[in-house]
Structure 1
Amino acid sequence: MARTLKTGDAVIWKSPGGDAKGHVVKTITSPTTIKRHKVAASPDNPEVIVETESGKRAAHKPNALRRSSPKKP
């Protein structure tokens, strides 16, 4: 079963440049396109839209994301 991540949760994930940090924007359950990349989401195969600290968005499988502590002001 997929992890339950909520909108706004602080998360961390592996990227080619090292760990990336950001937050959950939403979980999608239907196909979409992000930056000209097809995201094959479905109710049985959801994807999570995340946004980095610099404002870039990407889609990831829920099991590729780890919750992290939110950044303190």
Structure 2
Amino acid sequence: MAQEFSKGDHVSWKSHGGEAEGTVQKKITEETEAAGRTVKASADEPQYEVKSEKSGGTAVHKPGALHKD
């Protein structure tokens, strides 16, 4: 089972320029528009919206791509 994250968790993930860090904003459990794209998430396969510390932008990642710091 994939790791669970909560709003406010500090996480890191691999990015184009190496490793990025940020904060979990919310858990997404249904298909929705987030971070400028359609996110195909479900209760069984959630995704997480994170805010980058460096850019201030948001992105959506699957739990396997995130690492809790």
TM-score over 0.5 for the alignment? Answer: yes
Q: Deviations over 1:16-60 (max 9, x none)?
A: 111010011111101112243111011111001100013210110
Paired-residue identity, %: 47
Contact in 1 for aligned 2:13/2:21 (Cα 8 Å): yes
Q: Give TM-score, length-normalised by structure 1.
A: 0.84
- 1:25 alignment partner in structure 2: 25
Q: Using the TM superposition, give the Cα deviation of residue 13 of structure 1 relative to its aligned residue in structure 2, in angstroms.
A: 0.1
CA distance in 1: counterparts of 2:67 and 2:3, whole angstroms: 9
Question: What is the aligned length?
Answer: 68
Alpha-carbon distance between aligned partners in 2 of 1:24 and 1:63, rounded to the nearest angstrom: 14
Tell me which residue corresponds to 1:61: 62
Structure 2: gaps of 5 or more residues = none
Kindly provide the amino acid, as one letter, of the partner of residue 59 in structure 1: V
Structure 1 residues without counterparts, runs of 5 or longer: 69-73
Q: Distance in 2 between matches of 1:35 and 1:25?
A: 11
Alignment root-mean-square deviation, CA: 1.1
Larger Rg: 1
Tell me the distance in 1 between the aligned counterparts of 2:48 and 2:35. 15
